[in-house]
Amino acid sequence: MVEVRIIYCRPCGFQDRAVKLANDVLRELGVHGVSVKLVPGDKGIFDVYVDDKLIFSRYQEKRFPEPGEIINGVKKLLTPTP
């Protein structure tokens, strides 16, 4: 089982965006054994981890992630490399 963890800033109002992203990931990858955990945070955070690997940081990228880029990032980690 692979866990996608979305840490979002609750005071900033990012919860709806985090829930939508979680739904998109589950719709696309839930049948592949992917689970999603939403973790409230603060200070403008919107980070996405797969297991314990950071795959997106709003702070680093200066924007929010697109669902497709998160889904593709998770797919890459699901696919074993030769």
Whether 56 contacts 66, CB under 8 Å = no
Place of tokens 């049948």: 31
**Nearest residue to 50 (alpha-carbon basis) of 31, 39, 64, 37:** 37
Instruction: Give domain limits for the chain.
Output: 2-78
Positive or negative torsion for Cα 1, 73, 41, 12: negative
Number of helices (H), then strands (E), belonging to the chain: the values are 3, 4
Digit-coded pLDDT (tens) for 26-39 = 999 988 889 999 99
pTM: 0.92
Say which CATH topology domain 2-78 has.
Glutaredoxin (3.40.30)
Amino acid 81: pLDDT = 60
Digit-coded pLDDT (tens) for 26-80 = 999 988 889 999 999 999 999 999 999 999 999 999 999 999 999 999 998 887 6
